[in-house]
Structure formats: structure tokens, C-alpha cells
């Protein structure tokens, strides 16, 4: 019985470490996402609000700069990738195109159909996009390559 208890305690500790690791990765990805979001919002605001560009091309231009920021900051802060940086950047841009399409759909619904202000709609679309981007980066682009994993996760 004591051995079974000890085994359960070790399993609980491993599960707790995995949970802590995931929470820490989400926190660090928030830094990556926030950096890319700041770049995107700033460029979107300048193009849309200052220069009066329509939200569609403004969003497209902002996405190009945001995707590069996502790749650069993500590689420096969160992901310990030894892969080909050009391939990774390609995957980031492909993901950004898909995310852009979701963003455009959401923006069209919120701005053109519901009459929301473009910046308010952009904030809502960004929050939804964060979940999408985090999932794609951790499950596909940088699968198993986060810097902050407990030792037992690195082996698997």
C-alpha cells in the first residue's frame, strides 16, 4: 500500500510539473503575443485612423509586420528551435494568412454588419486570434520546442 501511495505521489508531482510548465509557457507566449499585437495594433491604428486607410488593407499590412515580430520574439524568448529559420518563418506567415482570414471575417461581421468601431472590433478579433496562434505554434510549428519544459517532458 505504501508503494502504491508513493507511486501516486510521483504521478501527481509529474502532473503538477506539466501543468506548471503549460501555465509558464502560456505566460511567456503572452509576451510573444503581446509584442506582435502591439506592432499590429500600432500599424493598424496609424494606417486606419491617422491615414484613413480602409480596415482591410490596413489589417493586411499590419499582419505582415506582426507575423515577423511573432517569429522573431518567439524564437528569442520562448522556443528553442534549431530548425531552419526560413521554414519556421514560412510556417509563421502561413499561419498568419489563415489568422488574417479569420480576422477579416470577424472584422467584417463586427464593423460592417454590427457597426462596431474598427479598433474595438480589432481588439476582440485579436483575443480570438491569440488562442488560435498559441495553439498552432505549440502544437504544430514549434511542437516540443519550448525552452521552459520540465525534464520529463523534454524526453517524450
- pLDDT one-digit tens code per residue, 71-84: 888 877 777 666 77
- pLDDT one-digit tens code per residue, 37-53: 899 999 999 999 999 99
Give yes or no for residue 122 having a pLDDT over 70. Answer: yes
Segment 114-143 shows an average pLDDT of 85
The per-residue pLDDT for 9 is 55
Give yes or no for residue 6 having a pLDDT over 70. Answer: no
Residue with cell 463586427: 110
Give yes or no for residue 57 having a pLDDT over 90. Answer: yes
Amino acid at each position: 500500500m505504501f508503494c502504491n501511495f508513493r507511486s501516486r505521489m510521483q504521478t501527481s508531482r509529474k502532473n503538477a510539473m506539466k501543468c506548471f510548465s503549460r501555465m509558464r509557457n502560456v505566460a511567456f507566449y503572452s509576451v510573444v503575443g503581446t509584442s506582435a499585437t502591439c506592432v499590429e495594433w500600432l500599424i493598424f491604428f496609424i494606417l486606419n485612423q491617422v491615414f484613413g486607410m480602409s480596415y482591410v488593407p490596413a489589417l493586411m499590412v499590419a499582419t505582415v509586420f506582426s507575423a515577423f515580430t511573432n517569429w522573431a520574439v518567439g524564437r528569442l524568448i520562448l522556443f528553442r528551435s534549431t530548425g531552419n529559420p526560413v521554414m519556421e518563418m514560412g510556417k509563421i506567415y502561413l499561419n498568419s494568412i489563415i489568422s488574417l482570414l479569420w480576422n477579416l471575417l470577424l472584422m467584417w461581421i463586427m464593423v460592417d454588419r454590427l457597426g462596431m468601431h474598427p479598433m474595438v472590433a480589432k481588439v476582440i478579433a485579436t483575443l480570438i486570434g491569440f488562442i488560435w496562434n498559441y495553439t498552432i505554434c505549440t502544437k504544430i510549428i514549434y511542437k516540443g520546442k519550448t525552452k521552459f519544459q520540465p525534464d520529463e517532458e523534454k524526453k517524450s
